[in-house]
Structures are given as structure tokens and as C-alpha cells.
């Protein structure tokens, strides 16, 4: 019973750390965007946390963990509305003695909101608030838990067999959290279009500097700390050996990702770009998330380093495609999420061609489903209530038009 209490306490600490990550996302997003949209971005992030937890309570948890039985195809099942703990929900037999049923709900609920937060940064500064809120409700409430059920809910991906590979593997969500958000973010910015002034008449990219880089740096460091709970909690117990390894591989990948991004960006652009450094850290964290429990420290460094390189190349690719992603969400969460997922088949305890194929097939399945559903939701919103603010609203700033307030009323900077 003492071990059960320790496990449960650790899981509650991890739950708090994952909750804290939402402050990191908020700081990062407002720091890399303009002052005139600060309130709008904060509003979206607070909304995502609140509605995410409520939706997970109403039906998301039972959609993600519906109790697939042996022989089920494991694509879609629903265990009912609301949450009611099973009879053994408070005793050590639940979750192999790891934690209580209530702790499980709250920990998983903190993950649910993250997918929509990823989209929030990518569409910042030009999306209608009401359209984003409707999208977030549908994506958090339906799409995220359905995809999660395919693996973590013991659905068909968890039993996908090819050769020696016995199911898809995603330890803490390189695909099931980060890519789920990343695919939707990609679809959203394609449909939404770029911010005014991002690309000039000749198609050349124009930098739109963020208004508070210190806040962005604080956000990344908070996210790094939060990843101790994101990955550390995914051990699902306080197992000392495995938890310690996960935290080591997580931190090494983050550090290597930052260094890889800053070195390559310095070589290419002849300056020390802090925003590339920061996104490189996040890329390393996303990259290691799928296999943090499988990798050696050396492999974690390699995965992180390559993720950092992917960040620089990915951001350049997004610009070349004339897509506008103010915070680098596509490179961080989608590209590095895919890389981390595939890395499970290249490095670590499950490495092998069969596992690599399973990982790759899953990337295609999840990418197709998330892209299609995100397109349906966003395109429908575009054709009904609209998804983009007016040109004048965008120029003046969303804080004034949608919220009637200023984030810095006594400290005005250049609004444009």
C-alpha cells in the first residue's frame, strides 16, 4: 500500500507539471506574436484548458478508453457519458498498482487539451475567436480521444502486427498528441492563409517579430520542466529505474535539439537566432516523446540533434511553401512528431524494419484521419460563420476588436 501511495503521489505531481505546460504554451505564443493580439491568445489558451477538461469528463475519457475487448477491430467504441470510478478504482489493483482511477482521469485529461493548444499558436493573429472555439470543442471532444483510443485505449493500432513488430508504439505521444495537433495546424493555416504582410508582392518572406522574446524563452523553459511530467508520468508509476531513464533521455534530447538548431541556423543565416534555439529544444522534446523509455542516452542525443536540424529545415520549408506559422508549430509538433515516431523503429529496444514499417503506417493512418477531419471542421466553419477576421480587425489587433482591452494599457509599444 505504501508503494501504491508513492506511485499515486508521483502521478499527481506529473499531472500538475503537465497542467503547468499550458502556461509555457501561453508564454511562448504571446512572446512570438505581436502585442496587439496578446489577450486573444491568452483567452484561447485558458478556454482550451477549461473546455478540454469538461469535454474529457463529459465523454472524452470514455471515448478514449472505451474497453475494447479481444476480437474487437478497435476503431470506435464509447463507454458512456460522465465518469464513474469502477469498484476497484481506489485500490492498488487498478492500473497494476500504479495510481487511482481518479488520478488516471486527471492525468489523461491534461494531455487532451494540448492538441488544440498546438493549433492555437499556428493560427494566431488572424482567426475568429468563435470559430477557433468551435473547432477546439470538436477536435478535443471527438478527434483526439478517437485517435488515442486506437493505441492507448487498446484499439487496432496497439495490435497492428507486421513480422516481428507487435503493435504501434508511442510512449507519451509524439504522434497521439503532437502530430494530432500538428496535422490540424497544417490544414488550418492552409485554409486560413497568411497574416497581412507576411509575404510581400514578390512572394518574399517578411519576418513579423514577436513582441516579447523573454516571455517566449520563459515559455520554453516552463515547457521543458513540464515535460518531466509529460514523459515522466507516462511511466504510469514511480518506478525508479524507468522514471529516471525517461527523464535523462528527455533532457538530453531537449539539450541536443537546441544545440542542433542553433548550430545549423547559425551556419545558414550567419546569426545566433534565439527563437531557433528555443524551437530546437521543443523539437528535441517532441522527438524523444515516442520512445523516451526505450532509448539509451547516446540514442537520445542523436534523436534530439536530428530533431533540432529538422526544426531549422522545417521552418524554412513552411516559409518556402508560403504558409504562415507564427510560432513554428508545424516544424516542432508535426515534423518532429513524425521523426520521433519513426525513430522508435530505428533506435532503442524496439528497433527493426518491421517496427519501422508499423510506425510509418501509423503516421499515414493518423495523418490521413486528422487531416480529413480537421479539413471538414475548418472548411465547414469557413463556409458558414467564417474563420478569418476582417482586414481592419487584423491590422488594429484582435485584443481591441474581440475583447475590448489591452494587455499592456500603461506600456504601449509599436502596435504593428
Which has the closest alpha carbon to 329: 224, 200, 180, 226? 180
Q: For position 18, which CATH number holds?
A: 1.10.3430.10
- Domain membership of residue 415 (yes or no) is no
CA angle 92, 96, 102 (to 5 degrees): 60
**Quick one: pLDDT at residue 116?**
84
Cβ atoms of residues 394 and 126 within 8 Å: yes
Cβ atoms of residues 387 and 127 within 8 Å: yes
Cβ atoms of residues 261 and 279 within 8 Å: yes
Cβ atoms of residues 116 and 55 within 8 Å: no
Helices (H), 159-296: 180-192, 213-232, 240-269, 274-289
- Domain membership of residue 413 (yes or no) is no
Quote the number of domains for the chain: 1
| Torsion angles phi and psi, residue 400, rounded to 5 | -70, -45
Helices (H), 290-345: 297-320, 329, 336-343
Helices (H), 123-179: 129-138, 144-151
**Quick one: pLDDT at residue 201?**
76
| 10-residue stretch averages of pLDDT, the chain, 416 residues long | 86 96 97 96 96 96 90 86 80 75 92 89 96 97 96 94 94 96 97 93 86 97 97 93 97 98 97 97 98 97 98 97 96 98 96 97 98 98 97 94 89 53
Q: Report the SS3 class of residue 292.
A: coil
- Domain membership of residue 251 (yes or no) is yes
DSSP-derived letter for residue 69 is P
- 165 forms beta bridges with 162
- Domain membership of residue 414 (yes or no) is no
**Cα separation of 319 and 174, whole Å?**
23
- Domain membership of residue 411 (yes or no) is no
Q: With left for phi above 0 and alpha for psi between -120 and 50, is residue 92 left, alpha or beta?
A: alpha
Helices (H), 73-113: 101-112
CA-derived radius of gyration, the chain:
21
Q: What is the length of the chain? A: 416
For residue 304, give its domain range.
2-403
**Quick one: pLDDT at residue 409?**
86
**Quick one: pLDDT at residue 411?**
63
**Quick one: pLDDT at residue 1?**
62
How crowded is the C-beta side of 328, counted as CA atoms within 13 Å?
31
Question: Which residues have a Cβ under 8 Å from the Cβ of 384 and sit 6 or more positions away?
Answer: none
Q: Report the SS3 class of residue 205.
A: strand
**Cα separation of 294 and 290, whole Å?**
9
**Quick one: pLDDT at residue 297?**
98
Whose grid coordinates read 535523462?
Answer: 248
- Domain membership of residue 416 (yes or no) is no
Residue 218 CB neighbour total at 10 angstroms: 16
Q: With left for phi above 0 and alpha for psi between -120 and 50, is residue 162 left, alpha or beta?
A: beta
- Domain membership of residue 410 (yes or no) is no
**Quick one: pLDDT at residue 9?**
94
Extended beta strands in 2-135, E state: none
Amino acid at each position: 500500500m505504501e508503494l501504491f501511495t508513492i506511485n499515486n503521489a508521483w502521478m499527481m505531481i506529473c499531472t500538475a507539471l503537465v497542467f503547468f505546460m499550458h502556461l509555457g504554451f501561453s508564454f511562448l505564443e504571446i512572446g512570438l506574436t505581436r502585442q496587439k493580439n496578446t489577450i486573444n491568445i491568452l483567452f484561447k489558451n485558458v478556454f482550451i484548458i477549461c473546455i478540454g477538461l469538461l469535454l474529457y469528463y463529459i465523454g472524452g475519457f470514455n471515448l478514449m478508453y472505451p474497453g475494447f475487448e479481444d476480437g474487437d477491430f478497435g476503431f470506435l467504441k464509447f463507454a458512456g457519458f460522465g465518469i464513474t470510478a469502477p469498484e476497484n478504482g481506489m485500490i492498488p489493483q487498478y492500473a497494476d498498482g500504479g495510481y487511482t482511477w481518479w488520478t488516471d482521469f486527471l492525468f489523461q485529461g491534461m494531455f487532451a487539451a494540448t492538441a488544440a493548444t498546438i493549433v492555437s499558436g499556428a493560427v494566431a493573429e488572424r482567426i475568429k475567436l468563435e470559430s477557433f472555439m468551435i473547432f477546439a470543442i470538436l477536435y478535443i471532444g471527438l478527434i483526439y480521444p478517437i485517435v488515442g483510443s486506437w493505441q492507448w485505449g487498446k484499439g487496432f493500432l496497439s495490435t497492428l502486427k507486421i513480422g516481428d513488430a507487435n503493435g504501434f508504439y508511442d510512449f507519451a505521444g509524439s504522434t497521439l498528441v503532437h502530430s494530432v495537433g500538428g496535422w490540424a495546424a497544417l490544414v488550418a493555416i492552409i485554409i486560413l492563409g497568411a497574416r497581412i504582410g507576411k509575404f510581400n508582392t514578390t512572394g518574399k518572406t517578411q519576418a513579423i517579430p514577436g513582441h516579447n522574446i523573454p516571455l517566449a524563452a520563459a515559455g520554453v523553459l516552463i515547457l521543458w520542466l513540464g515535460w518531466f511530467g509529460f514523459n515522466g508520468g507516462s511511466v504510469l508509476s514511480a518506478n525508479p529505474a524507468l522514471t529516471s531513464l525517461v527523464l535523462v533521455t528527455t533532457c538530453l534530447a531537449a539539450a541536443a535539439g537546441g544545440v542542433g538548431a542553433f548550430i545549423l541556423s547559425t551556419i545558414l543565416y550567419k546569426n545566433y537566432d534565439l527563437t531557433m534555439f528555443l524551437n530546437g529544444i521543443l523539437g528535441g522534446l517532441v522527438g524523444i516523446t515516442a520512445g523516451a523509455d526505450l532509448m539509451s542516452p547516446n540514442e537520445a542525443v542523436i534523436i534530439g540533434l536530428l530533431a533540432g536540424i529538422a526544426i531549422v529545415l522545417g521552418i524554412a520549408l513552411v516559409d518556402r511553401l508560403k504558409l504562415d506559422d507564427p510560432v513554428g508549430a508545424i516544424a516542432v509538433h508535426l515534423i518532429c512528431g513524425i521523426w520521433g515516431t519513426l525513430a522508435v523503429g530505428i533506435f532503442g529496444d524496439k528497433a527493426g524494419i518491421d517496427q519501422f514499417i508499423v510506425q510509418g503506417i501509423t503516421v499515414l493512418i493518423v495523418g490521413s484521419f486528422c487531416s480529413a477531419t480537421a479539413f471538414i471542421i475548418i472548411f465547414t466553419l469557413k463556409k458558414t460563420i467564417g474563420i478569418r477576421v476582417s482586414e481592419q480587425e487584423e491590422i488594429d489587433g484582435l485584443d481591441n476588436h474581440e475583447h475590448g482591452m489591452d494587455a499592456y494599457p500603461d506600456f504601449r509599444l509599436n502596435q504593428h
